[in-house]
Amino acid sequence: MFTQISESTNQAAHFLKLGKAIAIPTETVYGLAANIYDEDAIRSIFTLKQRPLNNPLIVHIHSFSQLNEIAQNIPEAAFKLAEKFWPGPLTLVLDKTQGIPDVISAGKPTVGIRMPNHSLTLELLQSISFPLAAPSANPFMRISPTNPERVFEYFEGKIPFVLDGGECANGIESTIVGFNNNTPILYRLGAISVEEIEDIVGEVEVMNNENSTPNAPGMMKKHYSPRTKLILTDNVSDEIELHKGEKMGLLCFNESNLEDSVFSMKLLSKDQNLEEAAHNLYEFLQELDSQDLEIIIAEKLPNLGLGNSINDRLQRAASE
């Protein structure tokens, strides 16, 4: 199979209507997308990613008018969050309507829904008669791609088309919020901070730990991982000392922790800007992972705002 990279939403729509899975850009990461009502196409996403069927997918829509097609019994807090953050990197886990296939929701009565904030993908969604289910466009547990070239590296010859939307703005996945008796529960830390969510709906319960039957994507203990062993630390110098003699890569947030003794170094943000750090996270991890290192040492970020979300990704990447 020849994999084409193009900005043409017409071509993207053509392949989707044929029942194919394709890659699409969002403001967070690239996704592998298919028609939510085509179960064969949806199952092909799980096969391509080698993703377990008990790990649910996220449905992508282009407007609020599509919401009632997919969800029911929607809490008032969900409407408040959607009005604030859609289109944007927020996924809401809601009671699904009868027509949503179980393969999307991993057999659960709920489904994740979001409205992506990417002009090309919104244009694509508006041009077709069905929403799209789309997990990140990477093999299961590997680093999520934030540009079309990384998608191509993962799936060249396995998918027909990558919709080229350039670099993803946010660089980490959407924040996922669900509800228990109308009480908001945060299932996945993401590109919208906990603090921003709580500004709208008050205190939320955080429940983003490993789960053998997760309620939302991104809850597995090990995820977002390079092939190279990764260690997360709040003491870079000590960790480097422990691994003297090894071919090391360093991913850090504080410029003062850059060390000449390591083979390769990446600084997430010269200005210690958390949004810039999130944007660079996956691409820098990809670059380090491509250098045949023996180990990657990653520095913990401040536990506030997006720092929490970045630390969550690094902790899962470091998990054995």
Q: What is the mean pLDDT of residues 4-15?
A: 98
Q: What is the mean pLDDT of residues 177-188?
A: 95
Q: Are residues 200 and 234 in the same domain?
A: no
| Helices and strands per DSSP (H, E), number in the chain | 11, 16
Q: Are residues 185 and 268 in the same domain?
A: no
Q: What is the mean pLDDT of residues 256-269?
A: 88
Q: Are residues 177 and 285 in the same domain?
A: no
* Entry pTM: 0.95
Q: Are residues 183 and 277 in the same domain?
A: no
Q: Is residue 215 part of a domain?
A: no
Q: Domain range spanning residue 305?
A: 230-318
Q: Are residues 127 and 239 in the same domain?
A: no
> Can you give the pLDDT at residue 219?
62
Q: Is 90 helix (H, G, I), strand (E, B) or coil?
A: strand
> Can you give the pLDDT at residue 213?
63
> Can you give the pLDDT at residue 218?
67
Q: Are residues 155 and 87 in the same domain?
A: yes
Neighbouring C-alpha atoms within 13 Å toward the C-beta of 75: 18
**Res. 210: pLDDT tops 70:** no
Give the angle 61-63-67 at the CA atoms, nearest 5°.
70
Q: Are residues 199 and 256 in the same domain?
A: no
Number of domains in the chain: 2
Identify the CA nearest to 148 among candidates 132, 140, 137, 158.
Answer: 137
Give the angle 256-282-199 at the CA atoms, nearest 5°.
85
Q: Is residue 225 part of a domain?
A: no
Q: Are residues 202 and 244 in the same domain?
A: no
Q: Are 15 and 41 in contact (CB under 8 A)?
A: no
> Can you give the pLDDT at residue 89?
98
Q: What is the mean pLDDT of residues 216-233?
A: 84
| Residue 212 banded pLDDT, cuts 50, 70, 90 | low
Q: Are 245 and 299 in contact (CB under 8 A)?
A: no
| Residue 318 banded pLDDT, cuts 50, 70, 90 | very high
**Does the N-terminal peptide bond of residue 101 adopt cis geometry, omega within 30 degrees of 0?**
no
**Final residue before a domain boundary, out of 190, 206, 222:** 206
Residue with the larger pLDDT of the pair 303 and 257: 303
Print burial letters for 89-115: b (CB count within 10 Å at least 16), e (below 16). Answer: bbbbbbbbeeebbebbbbebebbbbbb
Judge residue 137's burial from the number of C-beta atoms within 10 Å of its C-beta, 0-12 exposed, 13-18 middle, 19 or more buried.
Answer: buried
Q: Are residues 130 and 273 in the same domain?
A: no
Looking at residue 277, which CATH number applies to its domain? Answer: 3.40.50.11030
> Can you give the pLDDT at residue 211?
59
Q: Is residue 217 part of a domain?
A: no
Q: Are residues 121 and 13 in the same domain?
A: yes
Neighbouring C-alpha atoms within 13 Å toward the C-beta of 31: 26
Mean pLDDT in the chain? Answer: 95
| Residue 65 banded pLDDT, cuts 50, 70, 90 | very high
Q: Are residues 13 and 84 in the same domain?
A: yes
